[in-house]
Structure 1
Amino acid sequence: MTERKRSTEKKKNVDIVSRMTVIGIVAVVILIVGVTVLALILGGKDKKQDKPEEVETPTEIEEEASSGQFERAIAVVKYVDSESGKLMVYDIEALKMITLAMDSSIDIKNEYGTDIALSQISMGDMIETKYDIKTLKPENVRITAITWQRRDVSNMVVDEESRTIRIGNEVYTYTEELVTSKDGSPFAITELSPADEAIVKGYKDHVWSIIMVNGHGTITLVNHESFIGGQIEIGRKISKLVEAEMNMPISAGVYDVIVSKDNMSPFVSQVMVEEGQIVTLDLSTAQPKVGTVEFVLSQEDVKLYIDDVLLQSNEPSMLSFGNYRIRAEKENFETWEGDLILNQAYLRFKIDLEGKANFLFIQEPAGAEVYLDAAFIGVIPTSTPYTPGDHTITLRRTGYVTASFSFSWEDDGKDKNLVLPELVPLEPSEPGNE
């Protein structure tokens, strides 16, 4: 009996030890799990406090931590991420970058006071805001009306060295924080052409954003030599003299092109200029303006020269519009020279030559006064122009008898040489007959 009793008590002791071991293991496991869960909870809280801007629903403790200190800013928008609620701006007064934490609770308005969404704010917009300096969450964001804005601006001239932009007669400065936007992407300021059209925004004498609304292409003229010195008009954008090299940047669009010159038929075309493209206009098909000139000559057998080129016929001539030098010649007639300006379809051009003067040369009797048709012409020897027809020559000299001679000369275009008889001396007066 004693052996059995001892065996039974020994077995009970083993069972108690086993149960206590199991209980101990379970307790250790529970402790480990509890510590792990507690660590995860505490770690999660710390993580949320490190990034307050990502908390969509702030706790009361966080709201108390983020309330109090605010700053106001006038800024230019550098980047908008409506999905993550980020609005990156540059404070143009404090000269610093700010990334505002946006959510649906924030009041956003345009310059007219109308509610808008974050997605309606664009790169290059100018805003006013008041934001928490710790959380960077704004109370409000408004497209500002206190800055200036100029639309459809062209003919901008950029001086990179002095960092200035000339718009008309005004000169503005810019910094490296200048925002440029073309189709939502930035572009280098060096790419800006006077032909580009843009919206320019700024504050005081600074430009802070240039938003390209219409880029430029180029119109080029070839085979236009006949129009050099004339005029080209491209819509209302360009009006200038035609030169040897004609490469003209112009904002994209559809334009009427007119190239004109006095002596040429106008070249007219309508072109579509696309951004970054070159439109080439070939003017080789343009024709000179022509007119008919009828030369009306008062004499026959006249030689006619146009710019020193002999005209083979006096029939009406076809000439291009322009200025010409005309010369008419005929034997025994004075050479005629003058200018012809052709600027109409038909022109009658009259020329009347003056005959060369025929000269009368009288050689004898020397010393006598000579009169032609009672007009004194000189003392022999002498000469004088004459006209064909009937004439009377009278010779006079003191102490001689006056003599007269009649002549009739034909229109033969020749000079006349005369040797007239010596004058007869007067008879001496007898005494008492004086």
Structure 2
Amino acid sequence: MNNITVVFNISKNELFKLPDSYKTLHRKLKVSYRVESNKNDITPDILKGATVFVLAGPQEKFTETEFQYLKDYISEGGRLLLLLGEGGEVNFNTNINFLLEEYGMTINNDSVVRPQYYKYFHPKEALISGGIASDTLNNNLLEYSKSILTAFDFMDDKYKVEFVYPFGATMNVIQPSVVLMTTGPAVYPFNRPLAGYYQNESNGKLVAVGSGHMFQDKYITSEINMAVWDSIFSMILTENFSFKPSDFNDLEINDYAVIPDTIFLSEQPKLCLMDSLDYDIPADFKKLFDMTLYSINNDLLRDVINTYGKLDVQYETLKIIKPQFEIPLPPLQLAVFQPIFSDLTAPPLELFDLDEAFSSEKAQITQLTNKCLSPALENYRKEGTDEKELGYFIQECGRILKVFQDEQRMSAKEILNVISVRIAHYKKLDKD
């Protein structure tokens, strides 16, 4: 065991505790590191003895003095890991964003959801693919994802890395911090940061993740969540860690759009209906409409005509100008008689030998034998063997037995050769 000490703070009533929800993570950490829990207030002495100080879901507010201690801890080379969940500060009743804003990060009061069901039943158990922002981190996780076969071969390497992000919130990440993970293109809200990373010149680091649930016992063994923890924790412990200049070339971050709370608005009283409670409706409903606002009349026509005389302009009544349209095609005329369409010809069924088309191979060979046998015997008695007649018989037998395709033609010798080879192979198989 080395001299690295990981301290999990529980003085702020943290939601995620080692004995309750982080048992698997605790067993993994205590193999290589010294793992402790802090029940007292955050002081410089406690922070000084911690290589990595973890705030796993704080549910109470920090004091200004404690924030100053944490800032000094980071500026002097300390490593701080913050985990939260959906709803951000509102649900956790904390003020941790006051600290994160100093480093260009905030956790939003929202939730990450997947609109379509895939592997996990609850919409907030979002399975994210293509959410690793850094190419270096994505390549490291890709090797682990290939071992558990979570994606298809035809996918881009970026989308083969899948991790489950349960009951988490999105973040805002700007300079001097960088984005580690995003929601990707399939999870609402699209392409929003989920984790931020900050490092100063003294090798002090701050890593914030919007979901501490993803490292719980229920989810840390799902997908590649364990590999995500290993990669993030390795970045925290690595001295003088730095990203490549090309790591964030393909990073796409959408603007954070806020929409109205339609559920809240639907429960409010309708003001347009409330205003009409003290209003007497007249018997003639037409009096409710003010037609003078949009009326069309000739009341000012005489004044307009008199204006022509004052301006010494001759008044002429408007004339209708017949429009001229350019007709690119001649005008169409209605047909007097219905068009006569020629009927289709009947199919030439008489050209097909139905008996030959539907009879079995054995029957076709029998018919061919009877057809060629009688003339062949007579010719044999008179003139001897007729090679053309014998070749025709062999070729027809080859066609019936489908030795060759209809568009191909084979000689009688080639057909006999093919059949002889098949018989030889058949006898070899029987012999074995």
Q: Same fold judged by TM-score > 0.5?
A: no
- TM-score, with length taken from structure 1: 0.18
Q: Give the helix-richer structure, 1 or 2.
A: 2
- TM-score, with length taken from structure 2: 0.18
Q: Larger Cα Rg: Structure 1 or Structure 2?
A: 1
User: Greater RCO between the two (CA within 8 Å, min separation 6)?
Assistant: 2
Q: Give the strand-richer structure, 1 or 2.
A: 1
